[in-house]
Structure 1
Amino acid sequence: MISTNRTAVAAAALMIAGFSLPGAQAAEDAFLDRFKGSWTGSGRVQRNAETSPWQVNCRVTGNTGQDRISIQGNCRAAIIIQRQIAADLTYNPRSGDYSGTYIGARVGPARLTGTRKGDVVNLKIAWPKPVNGDSQAEMTIQNTGSGMLRIVVRDNLSPGGPVQQTSDLVLRQQ
């Protein structure tokens, strides 16, 4: 009798898992589709403790593919300073993890890894060379589905200093 109950419980668990995966994938696909299109906005970026934050204006384009987001464009500070920015992320449906690259830092492309919770993808940044004394930072990409995209980077501004917000960009879908 106990063996039959265990078999029934195991079969039920497998059925529930099998039915929930397509729904979870559909929800993830809907989230990824929020990034499509043209986005413009502004924010601030601070390079290190010795510099003041720069006000920047940004234009990016979002593209999606199967289990993938690509955000590419540029940000401009004042009239003469312009920098390319990009985030290419791939979603792994088996693990629920995101991974990819970020372009925009003066030290070169960085590795991104993380997960999504609700409307926010929480990522760890691994810089290719030390930035302000270390090789790690945090990025959050928030997309509420209402035409607003926010990208925030948190890092230390000086070696051994406290982790604080170093970039905050708010973009609106066009």
Structure 2
Amino acid sequence: MLRAFFVAALAICIPALAPQPAAAADEDAVAFMERFGGEWRGSGRLLIGPESGLRFHCALNGDPSRSMMAFGMTGKCWTGSLSAPVYARLRYNGDQKRFFGSFMDGAEGDGANIVGERDGEGFMLKLMRGELQGLLDAEPAGDGKMTILLSLYDPNSRRSIPVAAMGFARAGSDSLPIYDPAITGSIEPGNK
């Protein structure tokens, strides 16, 4: 199950869905989504579990739709010779000022349902699959770069535990942001 959420996070780090016309009041939300369009590459590592320290890479393409208030994303992530396709869809609901969507056919399929919102210049997405819940927190890390932290909620301790840390940059960038929280759960960004 941890692996399913890990792959889900990779796919939605660059956020689209059902047709919904854009209203003038939602122009800011549309411009926000468009910032995440285009080709991105990234790398990161798992922070806990039996595969702790495992490094991975991703190549993703964001496809925002201004007229549909939506964002689609496709690509793949890999480690060594193993790779997996990823895809996600989000739509923006102007009345609720939130994003709704799915990763890999949602919780009914092999992925997770998504509910999220803007968080300053970044975004925070809640991932849900049955009783399992997680958070994906994305923050800007310079021009055309961002960092992502995936956490899973532990009902026993009632806290979120960091599971994977990632750095992404637009294709063609000469470097990726480094983001490597300590395994203890502290969240301390490296060089951005």
Q: Same fold (TM over 0.5)?
A: yes
CA distance 1:58–1:110, shift in 2 (3 Å): same
CA distance in 2, matches of 1:68, 1:151: 21
5 Å matches for 1:162-173? 163-173=160-170
After superposition, the Cα gap between the structure-2 partners of 1:61 and 1:143, relative to the gap in structure 1 and judged at 3 Å, is farther
Contact conserved, 1:35 with 1:143, CA < 8 A, in 2? no
Q: Which of 1 and 2 has greater Rg? A: 1
Q: Does 1:95 align with 2:96?
A: yes
Secondary structure of 1:146's aligned partner = coil
Distance 1:124 1:73 in 2: 21
What are the ranges of 5 or more consecutive residues in structure 2 without an aligned counterpart?
Answer: 1-22, 172-192
1:84 Cα deviation after fit: 2.3
- Deviation of residue 126 (structure 1)? 0.7
Which runs of structure 1 show a deviation greater than 3 angstroms over 4 or more consecutive aligned residues? 141-145, 158-162
Higher relative contact order (CA 8 A, sep 6+): 2
Q: Residues 60-109 of structure 1: CA distance to partner in whole angstroms, max 9, x if unpaired?
A: 001001311222211111x222122333111101110111012399x821
Give the number of equivalent residue pairs. Answer: 144
Structure-2 separation of matches of 1:153 and 1:86: 17
1:128-143 matches, cutoff 5 A: 128=130, 134-143=131-140
Residues 99, 67 of structure 1: CA spacing in aligned structure 2 closer, same or farther, 3 A cutoff? same
When normalised by structure 2's length, the TM-score is 0.64
- The structure that is helix-richer by fraction is 1
Q: After TM superposition, list the pairs within 5 Å mapping 1:1-174 onto structure 2.
A: 22=24, 24-46=25-47, 49-65=49-65, 66-77=68-79, 79-103=80-104, 108-128=110-130, 134-143=131-140, 146-155=143-152, 160=156, 163-174=160-171
Structure 1 residues 61 and 100 mapped into 2: Cα distance closer, same or farther (>3 Å)? same
Which has the larger strand fraction?
Answer: 1
